[in-house]
A and B are shown apart, each in its own frame.
Chain A
């Protein structure tokens, strides 16, 4: 079914394409998920970074306020703990600002602000340290004056502003960047949804295809099953048909041979009547010849004495031959109609009966000796059919001898699986190879027609062998004897035969 094959390969190709598409879509979706994940990771990193910057900046502001407070206190009351607080606070400033600079490395504006912050803070710390040194060296008054004239306060305010600016800019930059990341994530999400939809479509398509393919497969399997179960029914039906046809032929042969007989009775009957009538005429003619010679002419005498008897003789012999042929057909058809009753057959006993019984006289007359080998395989068959097969074969074997050679016939047999093979071998005149098939045909004979017979025996044997489920063949060459091989199943199978 080429159409189905084309369809199958198309379904296969589409199915595989669908699977591959689904797989690719899955990989794409996976990539999108990973990139989305990376984006949000990046977003949280940004947030942390920004807040680190903010922390650091406020720490710087706090430390600078604290240092400022400590310096002012120290100028009023130079207690050592204030100096310590100042030192601690101012020493933390530089690393903190460096940290901020490091963290804002990516943003040039922020970096510039951080640099400026560092410069301002460094200046401021230097000035504060200067005043503290003045106080420590006992020039507290000078220091206070110095404090008043310098605009330390203004510088501090600038530092504060700068710090605030860094924080604010950090936050706004964060907002910008977060929006950017969210955009990426949103875009990714839409793509993901698209891929998901495509995946669903591809999967559904593949599924539908596979489902259709599977249902096709199931349907063809069901059909196959149906065919299988039907096959037996079909075989039975065909066998019945054949049997019917065979029965028909048998019946036909039977009817034909019967109806042919009827006219033959007339032909033979009136031939005899004619013979009787002619005998009377011939007697009359011979009497006339005696009593009144010259009255009967030569033609009439010839007709009554020679022509008519000769013609009648031919009619008679032909009719007789026809009768024999019709009888042969009748016998064959009758054999075909006979119900076979299989029974256990001891073949040695069966053949022994034939050889010492019905065939003994005939074999003696013909000077033939028949040997039956021991231990022939037994059969389960119709007795009469088997007897007729061997009766015919043995009769032939003793019949067609070679002049001057005493007939030797050997019957042997062996079993091969469920078949029994018998051989009837003679040393007679043999059959030329071209006649090996012909001798089994009805009314056909081989070699010199010097023996009585109609060419029925072997046809009969073959039809019997066929009916028993077997075959018959022969091996022979001219003047080298003939071997007939009968191959039968060991048991008759009643199936296939009429009940």
Chain B
């Protein structure tokens, strides 16, 4: 991990409750990286593609993506990220309620790195997020395009 360029976590999640729970559990896992939360796909894509603080210009990032968004489908965002020359190395963790096999396959086909179903059972949910946090603390991420 690049010490000078801490990994930004970009969370795209329309449900504020979910977002809060995810953030809480990530923090509980000891991850203190900066976390940016977006409630819809449009502003998230704008940040990813254009914002000076976004992964385009500002180092490595990791995307937590919900599939059910109000303005567009999460798979569209996934396709945009993985189809972009400069963004396609950014790891995307799909974190959603959908456990439909077809949807899961589609996400992996589009290049999603990890697919996690949000379990309704909170203990499993918290576990999953905490493990994701542990995972985040050990994985190596590629530098952003700017690096």
Interface positions of A (Cβ within 8 A of B): 258-259, 261-266, 268-273, 319-320, 323, 334
Contact = CB atoms under 8 A, between A and B. Distances in A.
Contact of A261 (B21, B24, B97, B122): B97
Contact of A270 (B21, B68, B98, B120): B21
Nearest to B101: A334
B126 interface: yes
Contacts of A320: 120-121
Contact of B18 (A258, A265, A272, A323): A265
Contacts of B98: 258
Interface size, B (range): 10 to 19
27 contacts: A258-B68, A258-B98, A259-B68, A261-B97, A262-B15, A262-B18, A262-B68, A262-B97, A263-B17, A264-B120, A265-B15, A265-B18, A265-B97, A265-B125, A266-B15, A266-B17, A268-B121, A269-B125, A269-B126, A271-B122, A272-B122, A273-B21, A273-B24, A320-B120, A323-B120, A323-B121, A334-B100
B68 A319 contact: no
Nearest to A275: B122
B17 A319 contact: no
Nearest to B17: A266
B118 interface: yes
B123 interface: yes
B21 A258 contact: no
Smallest CB-CB A-B distances: 9 pairs: A266-B17, A272-B122, A269-B21, A323-B120, A268-B122, A261-B97, A269-B122, A264-B120, A262-B97
Contacts of B100: 334
A272 B123 contact: yes
Contacts of A259: 68
Contact of B120 (A261, A273, A334): A261
Contacts of A270: 17, 21
Instruction: State the majority secondary structure of interface residues on A.
Output: helix
Contacts of A271: 122
B133 to A, nearest CB: 16
Report which residue of A263, A273, A323 has the largest number of chain B beta carbons within 10 angstroms of its beta carbon. A273
A265 B15 CA distance: 10
Interface in B1-25: 15, 17-18, 21, 24
Nearest to A269: B21
Nearest to B102: A337
Contact of B118 (A265, A272, A273, A334): A265
A282 to B, nearest CB: 19
A41 B121 CA distance: 124
Nearest to A322: B120
B17 A265 contact: yes
A272 B17 CA distance: 13
Contacts of B15: 262-263, 265-266
Interface in B83-127: 97-98, 100, 118, 120-123, 125-126
Nearest to B122: A272
A265 B120 contact: yes
Most buried by A among B17, B21, B120: B120
Contacts of B126: 269, 272
Nearest to A272: B122
A262 B118 CA distance: 9
A259 B18 CA distance: 13
B21 A266 contact: yes
B120 to A, nearest CB: 4
A259 B21 CA distance: 18
Nearest to B16: A266
A252 to B, nearest CB: 15
Given A261-B97, A268-B120, A269-B126, 5 more contacts: A262-B15, A262-B68, A262-B97, A268-B121, A334-B100
B77 to A, nearest CB: 18
Contacts of A334: 100
A55 B60 CA distance: 153
B17 A269 contact: yes
Contacts of A261: 97, 120
A258 B17 contact: no
B28 to A, nearest CB: 10
Nearest to A254: B100
A180 B123 CA distance: 133
A206 B135 CA distance: 99
A319 B120 contact: yes
Contacts of B21: 265-266, 269-270, 273
A262 to B, nearest CB: 5
Contacts of A258: 68, 97-98
Nearest to A271: B122
Contacts of B17: 263, 265-266, 269-270
A319 B24 CA distance: 21
